[in-house]
Amino acid sequence: MFEFEKLTVYQKTRDYNKEVNVFIGKNRLNPTIKDQLRRASYSIMLNIAEGSGRFTNPDKRNFYVIARGSVFECVAVFDLLKETEGLSDKQYSNFYKYNLFEFQY
């Protein structure tokens, strides 16, 4: 088992990605928005994994900062979907439940 697989934030992100992929599969979305959401959600998980493998704290932090930026990107996409595609408050809140933006470096 790799170290990143033990991280709670990685496990939450993996679950988050599952939910995002189910959401994308069940909803007819603008192809550009769908692609952006998928890439941003993957970026969170992949940057956490890659950052955990770095040897210096500044190097790790850089990847974690990028992952955090991708969290904000996902929030912005869901905010847009709420306003333009009729995403319900319940669906919107469902993606907030992960609290991915609270992880520590």
Residue 105: the pLDDT is: 44
Residue 86: the pLDDT is: 84
Q: How many residues are present in the chain? A: 105
Most confident of 56-60, 84-88, 93-97, 100-104: 56-60
Q: Which two tokens stand for residue 55?
A: 């040897």
pLDDT in tens, 18-63: 999 999 999 999 999 999 999 999 999 999 999 999 999 999 999 9
Instruction: Evaluate if residue 102 carries a pLDDT over 70.
Output: no
CB 21 within 8 A of CB 37: no
Average pLDDT, the chain: 92
